[in-house]
Amino acid sequence: MKATRIIITAMNLKWAHKAANALRGFASSVIACGCEADIERELLPSETPDGRPGISLMIFAMSTKDLEKQVPTRVGQSVMTTATTSCYAGILDGKQIAMGKSLRFFGDGYQISKVINGRRFWRIPVMHGEFICEDTTGVTNAIGGGNFLVLAKTARHALTACEKAVDEINKIPGVITAFPGGMVGSGSKVGSKYDFLPASTNEVYCPTLKGQVNSELSEEIGSVLEIVIDGLDEESINEAMRVGIKAVCSFGPKKGICRISAGNYGGELGPYHFHLRKILK
Amino acid sequence: MNPLIFTLKIQPEFILDVAQLTPDNLAGLNKTEIKSLKLPYGKNMVPLDTLFSVTGTDSNNIQINRSCEKLVAVGRYMTHGTINVNGNVGKILGSYLHGGTITINGNAGSWVGNNMSGGRIDINGNAGDHVGAGKPGDTFGMTDGIIKITGSAGDRVGDRMRRGMIIIYGKAGDYCGSRMHAGTIIVLDKAGKNSGAGMRRGTIILAKKPSHIAATFKSNGNLKIQFLRLLFTQLSNMGNEFSIFKEFGPEAHRLSGDLARNGKGEILILHTLNLRN
């Protein structure tokens, strides 16, 4: 996969969050959304290019071409439209894709280019004042789809444990959990009986099909949630999976957690394999 | 390594062109070869050895001591390395500079950084006219890089500049930013008459209200300019010498002009300090 990081700043964190949440909307899976995006972390004013509070956000896609399509569209419709925001590159080196370079035309000829310290910024006059957007943002190789499954007695047990796991994972830099709330309620397998579908329900982990298919679930398991992690490198994903699994395991069987597993799709979905036992050593 | 130090033995009577004394030109030369270089001195070519004593070895780090106004073209066409000059220098300092840093601990003559396309010039003193301008007949002045002047500058700072930044801690003369195509000029003390005359694009930031603004500039009112917040934050992150910019806020009176030209340039007159919120 390919990824980029962007930094959104605003008058205060509340409005930076509004822009970031708008951008990451409908960006849970590359299967149908075109990209996967989520907030990486909040940034202090001292960490942002313009000295305002900000949000670091990562966007993952299957190719640079997909990112080239998704980034200007999402920044233009979600960040530029949010009051008081500015948008900057979070990765400065590597291959560059257009951001302000595309959006500048919204300025209808009144846009101004400024180069500061070798970085080009576009000043686009808008109704709230000025929308500042960096010309380009860098693209880097990345890994998508590191995952583990939480097998629990009930949906409530699974949800409680996964919420804690996602909180812990979100503390790790360089990773995101793009699905709503950081977890997937409808984990999929690759392919389908229908030719037009690239992915379909993972029936061996569906509790309602335990008696109908060659199920992976034992009798007591009534709910399964999947946590999917995208990251900039293997180490970050390893660490995120480790803290996530440990958080889930801290609940134990008494609180309804029965087993941890992972979707490995026959080991054929991508070149990276995350072996749970190895990660936890 | 020891910097390569050139110390003037005499006070030159004529103009002395030291354009050859750059890291690019001196790379790979031994001390004997350097001493035998011939420099244009008045109408003649004179061996370097007769004018300078030479010590040190590191040609990437050049130092010129006991300099005076007769030394011209310091750092011309330089692409990398550093030149430090102790004393004043004459005209066309850092002209056609592509990269590297030139520091002058003294005053500089006119045409500082003319046609420069990168690098940085620091003048710890005053500069003459036409800082960052293009030489007569050229379409553009400087096209990139930073010029920082801790003292004052003369007339027509940034005339026809295309890109880059000029920061003047003192005063600027008349016609500051005249005929600018783009780029940024910051003047922290008073600017003279007709700032921005004939500018097409670009930004002139004045910390003090000038006594005169041309009639071809139109007010856009007092605004919080988001770009100023970005610029001042970035500048203050560039080192202690720019820490003064931490004090500046985004509030400014914006004037558009020159309406006799494209009218897309701007003069931003900063209101006061400590307005970062």
3-state secondary structure labels for all residues of chain A: CEEEEEEEECCCHHHHHHHHHHHHCCCCCCCCCCCEEEEEEEECHHHCCCCCCEEEEEEEECCHHHHHHHHHHHHHHHHCCCCCCEEEECCCCCEEEECHHHHHHHHCCCCEEEEECCEEEEEEEECCEEEEEECEEEEEECEEEEEEEEEECCHHHHHHHHHHHHHHHCCCCCEECCCHHHCECCCEEECCCCCCCCEEECHHHCHHHCCCCCCCCCCCCCEEEEEEEEECCHHHHHHHHHHHHHHHHCCCHHHCEEEEECCCHHHCCCCCCCCHHHHHC
Residue B276 predicted with pLDDT over 60: no
Q: Are residues A218 and A233 in the same domain?
A: yes
List the single best residue of B227, B238, B267 to mutate versus A (max A Cβ within 10 A): B227
Q: Name every chain A residue with its beta carbon within 8 A of the beta carbon of B201.
A: 112
Q: Are residues A168 and A248 in the same domain?
A: yes
List the single best residue of A116, A123, A128 to mutate versus B (max B Cβ within 10 A): A116
Task: Answer with the residue of higher pLDDT: A276 or B26.
Answer: B26
Provide the residue range defining the domain that includes A52: 2-141
Q: Does B238 touch chain A (CB under 8 A)?
A: yes
Q: Are residues A125 and A224 in the same domain?
A: no
Q: What is the pLDDT of residue B26?
A: 94
Axis-axis angle for helices A234-249, A155-169 (nearest 10): 140
A&B contacts, CB < 8 Å: 50
The SS3 assignment for B86 reads strand
> What residue in B sits closest to A130 (Cα-Cα)?
B226
Residues A198-216 pLDDT 10s:
889 999 999 999 999 999 9
Q: What is the pLDDT of residue A40?
A: 95
Residues A62-108 pLDDT 10s:
999 999 999 999 999 999 999 999 999 999 999 999 999 999 999 99
**Looking at the partner chain, which of A50, A130, A131 has a beta carbon nearest the beta carbon of B233?**
A50
**Of A90, A119, A141, which one is at a domain's C-terminal end?**
A141
The whole-number mean pLDDT for each consecutive block of 10 residues of chain A, a chain of 281 residues, reads 96 97 93 93 96 96 95 96 97 95 96 93 96 97 90 96 96 94 92 91 94 93 95 93 95 94 71 78 78
Q: Does A32 touch chain B (CB under 8 A)?
A: no
Task: Answer with the residue of higher pLDDT: B271 or B119.
Answer: B119
Task: Categorize the per-residue pLDDT at B126 as very low, low, confident or very high, splitting at 50, 70 and 90.
Answer: very high
Residue recorded with tokens 């942002």: A48
* Count of domains forming chain A: 2
Per-domain residue ranges of chain B:
1-64, 91-270
Q: Are residues A181 and A243 in the same domain?
A: yes
Structure tokens at A215: 């199920």
Arch. (CATH architecture) of B91-270:
3 Solenoid (2.160)
Q: Are residues A60 and A158 in the same domain?
A: no
Contact B168, B149 (CB under 8 A): yes
CB contact under 8 A, B230 and A117: no
Q: What is the pLDDT of residue B274?
A: 41
Q: Phi-psi region for residue B175, left (φ > 0), alpha (ψ -120 to 50) or beta?
A: left
**Looking at the partner chain, which of B184, B201, B225 has a beta carbon nearest the beta carbon of A130?**
B225
Q: Are residues A52 and A164 in the same domain?
A: no
Percent of chain B topping pLDDT 70: 98
Q: Are residues A152 and A122 in the same domain?
A: no
Q: Name every chain A residue with its beta carbon within 8 A of the beta carbon of B225.
A: 129-130
Q: Are residues A96 and A74 in the same domain?
A: yes
Domain containing residue A157: CATH number: 3.30.70.520
Q: Are residues A218 and A94 in the same domain?
A: no
**Of A103, A124, A141, which one is at a domain's C-terminal end?**
A141
Q: Are residues A239 and A119 in the same domain?
A: no
ipTM: 0.90
Q: Does B227 touch chain A (CB under 8 A)?
A: yes
**Of A110, A141, A172, which one is at a domain's C-terminal end?**
A141
